[in-house]
Amino acid sequence: MTASQPAAATETARPKLAFRPLPVPQVDVRGFWGDRVDAVASRTAEILYERCVEARMLEQIDPDRPSPGVVIPFHSPSPDEAAHPGFTGSTVTTQMFWDSDWGKTIETAAYSLYRRRNPDLEKKIDAVIDMYGKLQQEDGYLSSWYQRIQPGLRWTNLRDCHELYCAGHLIEGAVAYFQATGKRKLLDIMSRYADHIASMFGPEPGKKKGYCGHEEIELALVKLARVTGNQKYMDLAKYFIDQRGQQPHYFDEEARARGADPKAYHFKTYEYNQSHKPVREQDKVVGHAVRAMYLYSGMADIATEYGDDSLRAALDRLWDDLTTKSLYVTGGLGPSAHNEGFTSDYDLPNETAYAETCASVGLVFWASRMLGMGPNGRYADMMERALYNGSISGLSLDGSLFFYENPLESRGGHHRWKWHRCPCCPPNIGRMVASIGSYFYGLADDALAVHLYGDSTCRFEIAGRPVSLVQTSNYPWDGAVAIEVDAETPVAFTLYLRIPAWCRNAALRVNGKMVDLDAATSDGYAAIRREWQKGDRVELDLEMSMARLFANPHVRQDIGRVALARGPLIYCVEETDNGGGLHRIALPRESRLEAHPEPNLLGGIVTLSAIGSRAETENWGSDLYRSEPPAAEETKLKAVPYFAWDNRDPGEMLVWLREG
Ligand SMILES: [Zn+2]
């Protein structure tokens, strides 16, 4: 597979021949994703609201109540930070980004309302929006933290304090809520705030030359521009991208302006927030993983909207770097808790993997936006990997509990949280799952790309004609996909179908006639151009190949180990199926893997089994060391999809099995 420009993008001089996701209400999902969306719509969305209230977030945004003050203490400085002569006191608490938690909670609720009417939840969200309406200042400014807790300090610390990040999440919530309910109030509030931001930041003389330490505003402004048609928001998003990392460095100047020494920065390097150099010069994924994913998502949007090849080239370099050196096999990323991010190449520890749920969700965002530039399996396969594994592992099957970290190995002590002191992940996985339909398809002027398979119906207009596609499939458990076309009048367009790289055998028929896949496929997608009409039927058979996966030998933690996969799913073994001491299990290379549909297990899954061996402890005695290896007994091991772990009895878990 190459990173070359896909055909669809070179056939036209118009850079805006972009593939846009279908809006959430245009795709009804059933089957695997239908169950997940139902869990979010029926439980998660309300849980998010309730836990925000419990955390006292309503008090902060409601101007009619007394301010709650600082509920979550400021982070304590590290000793060397505190000892630095330029240290001017801790500046950050996670309470600063409560507006972002509201934004994502509103967004999750909005997408959930498509799925399931919920007048009670809608009323609660309307009330939150009313509070923001009251809170907004005359000039459009809106930040519950800087208005209610630290007045007078707005725009003084973009580096640390998430001010524009919060605006971005409220904008995303506003766009989703408008699309879901038709109610404009929050959209109007956030447009006024975006107007204010545009009056404060930009290349014009007198404006601030800054950008946010935590990227997010960029991709949010793109959404706002698309829904309002206001190019000013798009240009502002592009400005924030273009300005990042330019000299003189904004965060240096900003620190000096508030009397701080820029060198007293907690994270020491601007790699932490990807502002160490201009984005077009970047070629390594560095720093905080979620920030990186959000930045690259915004860059991909701008590359698509402006046909900007220089951004695209940087994105391809960054994609290469991430996917060949710093990505867990689950689609998790960011191994270190210290910077919540990247460390060095091939450093992928399993038990201590940070792999924040938000980072994997962010990878889904980035990959999906790379598909805006044309169908390409390089991105879509990875989007699928992160979707089915490292992201949805963050949500319990019933939609009520959340992982922040997603390790690939546990001694039994790692479990989902009810909430988190930094509750960024719960609403992030909630909004991603609830909007999953929009990741299935990409629509261009005369093409539709099918990125994801699964039981679903989509409706769209192409060349001015309404078309619907009904996918019938038990994906990801079974790779047979039938797509039925319904068009009132015949309409010509290209249908792109992803042929996943993990699939060893695929067959494609259109109206019963076999298609030569080799000839039809480039960049991981088969392209069928024809005049489609009602009753046309596409049948795609993807072999759900089982695979043993091995890591690059540079990954010290995985050498001599093997991970199991079937189709897009990565598997793990759990204590509840295999007994304790999972590290003592070994899987011989020649052992046959078998797949078993288990409709009554974990909501209906396919398990994998194989004959392995287990090092015995019984006859070892009390010695710590001996000159003879332990005896081994045969054992049948059973593996379940990684996303479903920790939904039964608590216990050990392991992805990378010892081989031998
Ligand atoms: Zn998070």
pLDDT at position 85, please? 65
Mean pLDDT of 481-506: 97
Percent of residues, the chain, with pLDDT higher than 90: 89
Q: How far is CA 560 from CA 292, 419, 551, 611, 631, in A?
A: 31, 37, 9, 18, 19
Give 76 Cα–ligand 1 centroid separation in angstroms: 20
Distant-in-sequence contacts of 282-287, Cβ < 8 A, 24+ apart: 282/245, 282/314, 282/317, 282/318, 283/314, 283/317, 283/318, 283/321, 284/318, 284/321, 285/318, 285/321, 285/322, 285/326, 285/342, 286/341, 286/342, 287/339, 287/341, 287/342
Q: Say yes or no to pLDDT of 9 above 60.
A: no
Give 404 Cα–ligand 1 centroid separation in angstroms: 6
Give 287 Cα–ligand 1 centroid separation in angstroms: 15
Query: What gap in Å lies between CA 22 and CA 448, rounded to an integer?
Result: 10
Give 105 Cα–ligand 1 centroid separation in angstroms: 13
The question of whether 358 is a catalytic residue gets the answer: no
Give 654 Cα–ligand 1 centroid separation in angstroms: 23
The question of whether 218 is a catalytic residue gets the answer: no
Mean pLDDT of 179-189: 96
- CA-CA-CA-CA torsion sign (162, 163, 166, 171): negative
292-337 confidence digits (pLDDT tens): 999 999 999 999 999 999 999 999 999 999 999 999 999 999 999 9
Give 356 Cα–ligand 1 centroid separation in angstroms: 6
Q: In DSSP terms, which residues pair with 491 in a beta bridge? A: 532
Per-residue pLDDT band at 4 (split at 50, 70, 90): very low
Query: What gap in Å lies between CA 547 and CA 531, rounded to an integer?
Result: 38
50-70 confidence digits (pLDDT tens): 999 999 999 999 999 999 999
Mean pLDDT of 5-26: 60
Per-residue pLDDT band at 86 (split at 50, 70, 90): low
Give 361 Cα–ligand 1 centroid separation in angstroms: 9
Q: Which of 424, 458, 503, 572 is catalytic?
A: 424
Give 302 Cα–ligand 1 centroid separation in angstroms: 24
Higher-scoring residue by pLDDT: 422, 160: 160
Q: Per the structure block, which two tokens stand in for 6?
A: 């896909």
Give 189 Cα–ligand 1 centroid separation in angstroms: 26
Q: Per the structure block, which two tokens stand in for 212?
A: 């946010």
Per-residue pLDDT band at 421 (split at 50, 70, 90): confident
Percent of residues, the chain, with pLDDT higher than 70: 95
328-378 confidence digits (pLDDT tens): 999 999 999 988 999 999 999 999 999 999 999 999 999 999 999 899 999
Query: What gap in Å lies between CA 537 and CA 32, rounded to an integer?
Result: 22
pLDDT at position 87, please? 62
Q: Say yes or no to pLDDT of 482 above 90.
A: yes
**Pairing of β 447-450 and β 491-498:** parallel
Q: Say yes or no to pLDDT of 81 above 70.
A: no
Q: Which of 122, 305, 340, 356 is catalytic?
A: 340
Q: Say yes or no to pLDDT of 82 above 80.
A: no
Give 251 Cα–ligand 1 centroid separation in angstroms: 24
Which one, of 555, 569, 346, 403, lies nearest residue 479 by Cα?
569
Mean pLDDT of 513-536: 97
Burial 355-371 (b: 16+ CB within 10 A, else e): bbbbbbbbbbbbbbbbb
Q: Per the structure block, which two tokens stand in for 131?
A: 């509070």
Give 154 Cα–ligand 1 centroid separation in angstroms: 25
- Average pLDDT of the chain is 94
pLDDT at position 264, please? 87
pLDDT at position 649, please? 96
240-256 confidence digits (pLDDT tens): 999 999 999 999 999 99
Give 48 Cα–ligand 1 centroid separation in angstroms: 14
196-229 confidence digits (pLDDT tens): 999 999 999 999 999 999 999 999 999 999 999 9
What is the pTM (predicted TM-score) of this model? 0.95
pLDDT at position 10, please? 34
Q: Residues for the chain: how many in total?
A: 660
Q: Say yes or no to pLDDT of 16 above 90.
A: no
